[in-house]
Chains A and B, each alone.
Chain A
């Protein structure tokens, strides 16, 4: 299994441009999430999904859109990039095993985004 994959690894955008960060997982995980990581602020949840067709907002959703048409893919769209969106973006997926809701979250390698 490739696990959680993200593309691109690095991207430079100009203010106002739009783009989509790709995330895919081949582990048949129900749950997927997007986080951004900024220096000194840890990881902050942008959007998450508990299954195909179901998404919800996290802590910092403004300026981002998501959709989950398949179990495998969870793309993150920047509608109009701003310098404040310069960050490292991590996608993650998790699954539940057993009746005690044992759940483990796996992170992708990240996408480094620079908005000029």
Chain B
């Protein structure tokens, strides 16, 4: 089955700096790669996703890049703010969002 590895497990940045979280996947057939943000005690919420027919997608301060050849994808957050502090999960799926394999999460802390 699919295996998703996520790094780093914790990341501390200063407000205004950029943050990058990286994930690799094992199944070359996977074609759907969402990123979720989870605040303490809350449910995961989708922040951005990308499909294998595109290499990059951007939504305001958040961007995701995908390298299908290397089987890795990354989340980029620019101009970080304290409210960006949360746990971020990457995931990979084949054709559907209903069957996802998640990474182990990255705890991002944005300090003032």
Q: Which A positions have Cβ atoms within 8 angstroms of B?
A: 31-33, 35, 40-45, 48-50, 56, 58-59, 90, 92, 94, 96, 100-101, 103-110
Contacts and interface: CB of A to CB of B under 8 A. Distances in A.
A48 B97 CA distance: 10
**Interface core residue of A42, A49, A105, A107 (most chain B CB under 10 Å):** A42
Interface of B: 1, 6, 32, 34, 42-46, 49, 51, 89, 91, 95-105
B62 to A, nearest CB: 15
Nearest to A44: B102
B44 A33 contact: no
A77 B41 CA distance: 23
B96 A31 contact: yes
A105 B98 contact: yes
B46 A105 contact: yes
Contact of B99 (A40, A41, A45, A106): A45
B4 to A, nearest CB: 8
A109 B43 CA distance: 5
A42 B104 contact: yes
**Interface core residue of B44, B49, B104, B105 (most chain A CB under 10 Å):** B44
A50 B104 contact: no
**Interface core residue of A41, A43, A44, A90 (most chain B CB under 10 Å):** A43
A43 B102 contact: yes
**Interface core residue of B89, B98, B100 (most chain A CB under 10 Å):** B98
B98 A31 contact: yes
Given A31-B97, A43-B89, A110-B43, A105 B102 contact: no
Given A41-B104, A42-B89, A42-B103, A104 B46 contact: yes
B21 to A, nearest CB: 13
Contacts of B102: 35, 42-44
18 contacts: A31-B97, A32-B98, A40-B104, A40-B105, A42-B6, A42-B89, A43-B44, A43-B100, A50-B96, A58-B99, A94-B98, A101-B95, A104-B49, A105-B34, A105-B98, A107-B44, A109-B43, A110-B43
